Structure 1
Amino acid sequence: MKNVTALALLTSLFALPAMAAQDAPFQHEAGLEYSANSEEFGDGIWNANYRYYVAPVSQDNGPYALNGFLAQTTNVGANYSMFDAADTDTFGVDGTYVFDNKWFVGGEYQRFEVGDFSGNLYKIDAGYYFNDSSKVAAFYVDGSDNFESVYGLEVRSFLALESTSGIDLGAMWTHTDDDDIFNLNADWYVTKAWSVGAGYEDDGFDDNFALKTAYWLRMSDSFSATFELSKVLDSDVDGFDVGVGIVGRF
């Protein structure tokens, strides 16, 4: 049944007629995504999310997938995910307040249930937009019961290019009681809709390289379909990680 539902979502996206999109601003964004490994596509994760921006967000500003980040405006959101294969449900709310001087503070709460076990996670972060397309931030995460608190630093910057849309670069350092974790990410947006990229993670025990590509299919100003494909190199896991979703903006 899960295979049929996921396949129905995928095929319905291609059945919709494309309409002229004028890149109108939006303040509300809602999405539904299904992600899974290609070898076990029926055992994937459903994720629903919603976000409200206090000021209109331009769709002319950079790639479609980065419009919210580049808006640098106060926002609040909620999300729910379901992973039947692991009997896991997660609900979360978050928000970020951006001051006029481009400093910002944020908070996030996540409630998760895994079988008969449940718990809570809390995150706070603060940072600064040091230009129109870049930020630096510090964060702290803690949780209920025996959850190990972590903290770290993050930097992200989008570099616009003349011949293509640009490159989204990111780096993150996370400190845990066991070790330090380093993440690097680079996505080259060939167009506003299509990107190819690579990611790297070193968790102190092992390191992983991943290659990925994504496409944002615009149907209209208020409706889009999204597609993602990635592969972790030198991994024991076969197949590809696949994501397909729908996004509404208004």
Structure 2
Amino acid sequence: MSRIWNSIKKKLLKYKQYIIVIATLLTLTYIGYEYYFRYAYILKDPDILKEVVLSYGNFSVVVFIIMQIIQVVAFFIPGEFIQVAGGYIFGGFLGGIISLVGITLGSLMVYVISNNYGKPLVHKLMLKKEVKFFKKILEVGSKKIVIFMFFLIPGIPKDALTYVCGVSDISFRDFFIYSTIGRIPGIFISSYFGEKIFTRDYTSVITIGLIMSILFVFGIFKGNIIIKNMTRKKKMY
């Protein structure tokens, strides 16, 4: 009996990376179905979402932090609405703080998973082309500045990028500091936007909405170009 157990144990250790990958993918699939597709109507209606979150009373903050963590780990779930919902539910400042805590914890969790179980996990979750592109960009100049810019510029898939950071030679400390600082403006702007929706301040809602939309579109179409230009400048020296 002990021989059989030892044999099974060796195989589990040998293939632990693939077991982790399969378990992670199954978990993400379940989360995506259960909390995004099945309950998408809740995420799309701020009033219903607020009612659900506040129904947990003293644990409502914890529930919202968990929602943010899930959104970061399951990076295919859009996170912008949840950030806006933070301001709608808790107010601009407190909502921003709570979102920042949840997103930071989720990002650190993703970094640790990716860093420990490496390429198989990242390549399963993302296209190889995307992985190569992000890793190439992370080799540009100071990694601290590049990480900061990536997480600062709107429109760049930050949660997916977190997985790539985990398989790069970026230290946990640098990732934590510069990704968090880069996220702060976007998180608090989104939270402030949510507060203005709740207070029916439509002038501010329209103004912030237009600015956010312009920056988001700019980030989608010009964000990578900015980073590529940084690459070219490095090659010149």
- TM-score norm. by structure 2 comes to 0.28
Q: Highest Rg: 1 or 2?
A: 2
Q: Which has the higher strand share?
A: 1
Q: Which has the higher helix share?
A: 2
Report 1 or 2 for greater relative contact order, CA contacts < 8 Å, sequence distance ≥ 6. Answer: 2
